[in-house]
Amino acid sequence: MISLSASDSPAPAPADAPALPTTISVQDLAITYRTNLQKAPTLKSTLVRLGRRERIVREVQALKGISFDVPEGTVMGIVGANGAGKSTLMRSVAGILAPTSGRVEVHGKVSTLLSLGVGFNGALSGRQNVVLGGLAAGLSRKDIAQKYDEITAFAELEDYMDMPMRTYSSGMFGRLAFAVAVHMDPDILLIDEALSAGDAHFKEKARAKMDELAAKARTMLIVSHGLGTIRDMCNEALWLHKGELMMRGAPQEVIDSYTRFLKVGETSATMEDF
Amino acid sequence: MNPVVSPEDDYLGEHHVYEPHRVGLPRFGPYFRELWRRRAFATELAHTKMDAANTETVLGQLWLVLNPMLLASVYYLLVSVISAGRHDGMDYLAHITAGLFAFYFVSTSMTTGAQAVLSSGRLIMNTPFPKMLLTLSTTYTALRRFLPTMVVYLAIHLAADRPLGMVLLLLLPIFLLMALFALGLANVLATLQVYFRDTSSFLPYFVRIWLYVSPVLLTADQIRDKFRGLHVLNPLYSLLGAWTDVLDEGKVPSLDLWLQAVGWSLGVFVLGSLLFMSRERDFAVRL
């Protein structure tokens, strides 16, 4: 059903299951943003525009009808240039953005680690953010209390949890975001450009945790510009370009085509996570 | 994986289907079940923000009581100066504080509610959840700020030798109507604010005018005489009128007043909530 990369994939799907159940099914998904060209729509500018009978709503087709299925246990890498629709795809799988047309079907509990952090508020302390984020995601206070120590220990932020998050370094911010996402017991983990969080030591730890989750046959979608991450971690990859699905296949093949397309080789700039 | 999740759960459960529905209402069953299940988020958010609001002032949480006391003194002075002594004394102070504190409950719910969605933009972009939790949270904040003011009022009520008795129990249903009204308004304003960022700039002026045309500084009778029929267009005429009828005179509000209050309260609550719910899935692309 799918082509797995043969050699060093850390997360092979269980070999004894001939046809794995589909976890994520994306069917002809299109998402169009109707964005105002102004940053913040105000009443005055709207009145002025109505008076002039002009419309400055521009449609941005972030995704133009893409379809794919993700079987259980797949670690799917998603590559593509800026503006390819990668983050939009992640948000629609998470149920944050509704499809303009098409359909997304998801079996399982989703945990998101999207590019803006997990919705942390800089004015609040790390502790408050973890509790609020957990409650918003539907966990009970008891669940959160159980996981809290694990999360802070994993992020190595025990001494900082009562400080406002605006005082955190970006690495600390990212570490906490990552720790929260992986401790939510997700069936499906969506990770958008977050592996670069933290220093080399934390990256190692994050990788180990991801491998552990992948080994438990959890499904993951990983968006990264670090092609090395995609190659090492994923057993399948998608390449998106300007809202269209260009290619799906083994990570190495997809990366080869993608880098050929970009006319860049596998340099350290494309392979490392930054 | 997670014991708290029910299978038909729209947000967290085992199976989700996302289809085009940017405008239109979500299914009520799962929506309200989820809203109820995550209510702890709304209260936690309110407590967190209230703690944060007063941590840097010297007097801290004492401001929750000081604020209404200072406010009442300002308006009491204002009106007794302007009316050249026709309105003064404990009795008038009690009337003003009763109305003013209730009015501030509604207006706090409006002004904080208007920011409810925008101020949680990052959360909305990262977690799917019923967004009405955000306006529930701001209205709950208004409630938490309102409760200490009632302690201040109680002291004034006793000092002014105002009526006590079973009739005061009527305050509970009246307050419930006020709270539904306030939540409905918060829903309307939070939605408007997403589309028109000017909304919250207009609000303070609107609130000020609303204060003057409601039975707060004046009594309900004075308002009725002044506006000759138009007063029924003001939802707070009936809601605050009923409130001050009970507190000022210890009398049961007239049936007419009850009907107006129930009509406004349920109407604004239902329509405001439907507006909010029909637009909330569009918020993520508008932030």
Query: Which residue, among B266, B240, B265, has the nearest Cα to B253 in the 3D structure?
Result: B240
Q: What are phi and psi of A75, to 5 degrees?
A: -105, 105
Query: Which residue, among A102, A81, A92, A160, has the nearest Cα to A128 in the 3D structure?
Result: A160
| ipTM over cut 0.85 | no
Can you say how many angstroms the Cα of residue B275 is from the centroid of all Cα atoms in its chain? 17
Would you say residue A274 has pLDDT above 70? no
- Contact list in B for residue A161 (CB cut-off 8 A) is none
Note whether B197 contacts A117, CB cutoff 8 Å: no
Q: Is B285 on the interface with A (CB under 8 A)?
A: yes
| pLDDT tens per residue across span B129-178 | 899 999 999 999 999 999 989 988 999 999 888 888 889 999 999 999 99
Residue pair B80/B92 in contact (Cβ under 8 Å)? The answer is yes
Q: How far is it, in rounded angstroms, from Cα B127 to Cα B116?
A: 16
Note whether A104 contacts B122, CB cutoff 8 Å: no
Note whether B15 contacts A96, CB cutoff 8 Å: no
Give me the residue from B16, B22, B52 closest to A95, CB to CB: B16
Specify the higher pLDDT residue, A118 or B189: B189
Would you say residue B247 has pLDDT above 70? yes
Rg of chain B, C-alpha, whole Å: 21
Query: Which residue, among B58, B144, B126, has the nearest Cα to A121 in the 3D structure?
Result: B126
DSSP letter, residue A164 = B
Note whether A44 contacts B198, CB cutoff 8 Å: yes
Distance from CA of A200 to the nearest CA of B (A): 26
Distance from CA of B228 to the nearest CA of A (A): 33
Strands (E), chain A: 22-36, 57-71, 75-79, 101-107, 110-113, 188-192, 219-223, 236-241, 244-249
How are beta strands B15-18 and A110-113 bridged, if at all? Answer: unpaired
Can you say how many angstroms the Cα of residue B122 is from the centroid of all Cα atoms in its chain? 25
Query: Which residue, among B195, B189, B170, B149, has the nearest Cα to B247 in the 3D structure?
Result: B170
Query: At B190, is the pLDDT very low, low, confident or very high (cuts 50, 70, 90)?
Result: very high
How are beta strands A236-241 and A244-249 bridged, if at all? Answer: antiparallel
Q: Which amino acid is at A107?
A: H
- Contact list in B for residue A140 (CB cut-off 8 A) is 4, 40
Confidence at residue B267, expressed as pLDDT on a 0 to 100 scale? 97
Q: How far is it, in rounded angstroms, from Cα B210 to Cα B212?
A: 5
Q: What is the mean pLDDT of residues B45-70?
A: 80
Question: Angle at CA B39, nearest 5°, toward A143 and B151?
Answer: 120
B184-201: burial string, b at 16+ Cβ within 10 Å, e else: bbbbbbbbbbbbbbbbbe
Residue tagged 């998106």 (tokens)? A240
CA distances to A146, A193, B167 from A188, rounded to whole Å, are 21, 16, 56
CA distances to A65, A69, A72, A230 from A25, rounded to whole Å, are 13, 4, 11, 21
Specify the higher pLDDT residue, A246 or A39: A246
Helix (H, G, I), strand (E, B) or coil at B103: helix
Query: At B262, is the pLDDT very low, low, confident or very high (cuts 50, 70, 90)?
Result: very high
Would you say residue A11 has pLDDT above 80? no
Note whether B18 contacts A140, CB cutoff 8 Å: no
Average pLDDT, chain A: 79
Q: What is the mean pLDDT of residues A225-251?
A: 89
Note whether A132 contacts B44, CB cutoff 8 Å: yes
Query: Which residue, among B237, B194, B179, has the nearest Cα to B213 in the 3D structure?
Result: B237
